[in-house]
């Protein structure tokens, strides 16, 4: 079986040939992967940063954003049939901890992640719990269905921050930031600004019809944002860059009483003047992780069905899975939006 894996504890990613999953265990299904998105987490694993080195065992087939067809069903599974087209929630919750039993499975204390803690979806087949499946409507194409997961991150952040009728600033124009911008616009934000230094990603942001796209290195940045927000500053800030300096600058310009949702993961500790920038301004800080199971999935499905044009603008590259190295090179270069790998013709490509 062709797969893409972290086979060595060093920077890089490689092809691998693990065995097919075989008969799925009780409560599990096997999915033949059609398409899979490259996530920022996959890029962390590719770079083998301190988080990856401390979390991911090698060898490990990576990847957790995918769509495919069910090809085998384990005992005890009901409600699904062979051939069903599905995506899946990559966070496998325990179902018994306090968080799970109080409706917060997205922050389960014992979460196991597909492609991080167990074999992932960058393969011809992946085995997942049937409880994590999401049946995909026919109207949603594979290339969109493959990225339910990251669109769900963006949706969870936007929905939690309650952007309707608010001036919104998004710090970071990577794929999740771009999806968040499109979702905020669709959710009736009064204005949407994206702050992004990379010119290629800034161009994608402009294509979404946003109110303002700024380069944080531009001295006129602050004045332009204040003008757009009637001098008050943004009322909602969605931080997806993980950059400490960018977060501090965003807190400086935030309106009094603003909501600041934090999804970006910093590479290390971030120093903040909590007294001046948070407490005295009445700022609400929200930590955002994963997706609400499964409220967010219903929201994402509705967004994809109504806004396929916005999805197509953020997904900039669809590559044959066997050309996965090019996908990671594009991420190195910063010259892409979302990248999706196509697994549908993998056997023909390998035998060519």
Domains of the chain: 3-150+291-351 (3.90.180.10), 152-287 (3.40.50.720)
Q: Which of 41, 193, 229, 296 is catalytic?
A: 41
The label of the residue with tokens 């087939």 reads 61
- Write down the pLDDT at residue 349: 53
- Write down the pLDDT at residue 348: 52
CA–CA gap between residue 83 and residue 78 (Å, rounded): 14
185 near 192, Cβ under 8 Å?
A: yes
CA distances from 42 to 38, 49, 60, 168, 204 (A): 6, 11, 11, 28, 22
Q: Is the peptide bond before 59 cis (omega within 30 degrees of 0)?
A: yes
Q: Which of 7, 10, 23, 44 is catalytic?
A: 44
Look up residue 299 and give its two tokens: 């929201």
Residue 182 φ then ψ, to 5° = -65, -40
- Write down the pLDDT at residue 347: 54
CA–CA gap between residue 306 and residue 13 (Å, rounded): 36
Give me the sheet containing 3-6, strands edge to edge: 14-16, 3-6, 60-61
Answer yes or no: 44 catalytic.
yes
Please tell me whether residue 268 adopts helix, strand or coil conformation: coil
For 29-141, where are the alpha helices, taking DSSP H only? 40-47, 50-55, 98-101
Q: Is the peptide bond before 294 cis (omega within 30 degrees of 0)?
A: yes
- Write down the pLDDT at residue 335: 87
Burial class for 231, CB neighbours closer than 10 Å (0-12, 13-18, 19+): exposed
Burial class for 307, CB neighbours closer than 10 Å (0-12, 13-18, 19+): middle
C-alpha neighbours within 13 Å on the C-beta side of residue 56? 32
**In a structure prediction context, what are the per-residue pLDDT tens digits for the chain, which is 352 residues long?**
999 999 999 999 999 999 888 899 999 999 999 999 999 999 999 999 888 999 999 999 999 999 999 999 999 999 999 999 999 999 999 999 999 999 999 999 999 999 999 999 999 999 999 999 999 999 999 999 999 999 999 999 999 999 999 999 999 999 999 999 999 999 999 999 999 999 999 999 999 999 999 999 999 999 999 999 999 999 999 999 999 999 999 999 999 999 999 999 887 889 999 999 999 999 999 999 999 999 999 999 999 999 999 999 999 999 999 999 999 999 999 889 999 999 997 755 554 4
Evaluated on CA atoms 119, 120, 124, 127, the torsion sign reads positive
- Residue 191 CB contacts under 8 Å (≥ 6 apart), including other chains: 167, 168, 211, 212, 228, 229
Answer yes or no: 325 catalytic.
no
Look up residue 195 and give its two tokens: 């702050």
Would residue 64 be called left, alpha or beta, if left means φ above 0 and alpha means ψ between -120 and 50 degrees? alpha
The label of the residue with tokens 């003047």 reads 273
Residues 214-229 as b/e (b if ≥16 CB within 10 A, e otherwise) read: bebeeeebeeebeebb
């Amino acid at each position: 079986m062709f797969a893409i894996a972290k086979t060595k504890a060093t920077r890089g990613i490689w092809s691998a040939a693990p065995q097919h999953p075989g008969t799925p265990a009780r409560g599990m299904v096997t999915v033949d992967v059609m398409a899979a998105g490259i996530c920022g987490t996959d890029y962390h694993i590719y770079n083998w940063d301190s988080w990856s080195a401390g979390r991911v065992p090698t060898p490990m087939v990576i990847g957790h954003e995918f769509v495919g067809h069910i090809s085998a069903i384990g005992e005890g599974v009901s409600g699904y049939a062979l051939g069903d087209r599905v995506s899946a929630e990559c966070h496998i919750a325990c179902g018994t901890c306090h968080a799970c039993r109080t409706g917060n499975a997205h922050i389960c204390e014992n979460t196991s992640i597909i492609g991080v803690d167990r074999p992932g979806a960058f393969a011809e087949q992946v085995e997942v719990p049937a409880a994590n499946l999401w049946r995909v409507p026919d109207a949603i194409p594979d290339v969109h269905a493959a990225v339910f997961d990251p669109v769900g991150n963006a949706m969870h952040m936007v929905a939690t921050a309650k952007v309707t009728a608010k001036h919104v600033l998004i710090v970071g124009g990577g794929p999740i930031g771009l999806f968040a911008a499109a979702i905020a616009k669709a959710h009736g934000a009064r204005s949407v600004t994206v702050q992004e230094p990379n010119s290629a990603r800034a161009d994608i942001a402009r294509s979404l019809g946003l109110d303002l796209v700024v380069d944080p290195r531009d001295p006129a940045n602050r004045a332009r944002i204040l003008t757009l927000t009637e001098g008050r500053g943004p009322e909602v800030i969605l931080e997806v860059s993980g950059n400490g300096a960018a977060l501090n600058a965003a807190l400086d310009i935030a309106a009094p009483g603003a909501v600041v949702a934090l999804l970006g993961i910093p590479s290390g500790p971030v120093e903040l003047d909590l007294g001046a920038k948070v407490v005295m301004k009445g700022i609400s800080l929200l930590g955002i992780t994963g997706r609400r199971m499964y409220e967010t999935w219903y929201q994402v499905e509705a967004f994809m069905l109504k806004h396929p044009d916005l999805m197509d603008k953020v997904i900039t590259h669809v590559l044959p899975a066997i050309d996965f190295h090019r996908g990671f090179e594009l991420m190195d270069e910063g010259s892409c939006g979302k990248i999706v790998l196509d697994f549908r013709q993998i056997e023909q490509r390998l035998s060519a």
